């Protein structure tokens, strides 16, 4: 079954995650974009291992411009 991944690339994805900012003294806190990229990488690693013939499409969306980019 084909898989479609939608990634929001708007400015709101650069906000820090509240739980990570409070508990971590690290200067470079996690943002929503970092978490989304990590989740997509984990999913693609899983699909690579278990479903070698899976079709995957990545769609980038930015609400400000109303543009959809198909990769």
Q: What is the pLDDT of residues 1-38, one digit of tens each?
A: 788 888 887 777 888 887 655 555 555 568 888 888 89
Domain hosting 46: range is 3-70
pTM score of the predicted model: 0.69
- On whether the CB atoms of residues 1 and 53 are closer than 8 A, the answer is no
The number of domains in the chain is 1
Bridge partners for 68 per DSSP: 61
SS3 7: strand
SS3 63: coil
pLDDT at 43: 92
């Amino acid at each position: 079954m084909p898989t479609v991944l939608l990634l929001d690339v708007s400015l709101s994805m650069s906000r820090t995650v509240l739980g990570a900012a409070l508990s971590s003294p690290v200067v470079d806190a996690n943002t929503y974009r970092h978490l989304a990229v990590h989740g997509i990488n984990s999913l693609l690693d899983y699909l690579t291992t278990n479903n070698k013939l899976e079709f995957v499409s990545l769609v980038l969306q930015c609400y400000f411009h109303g543009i959809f980019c198909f990769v």
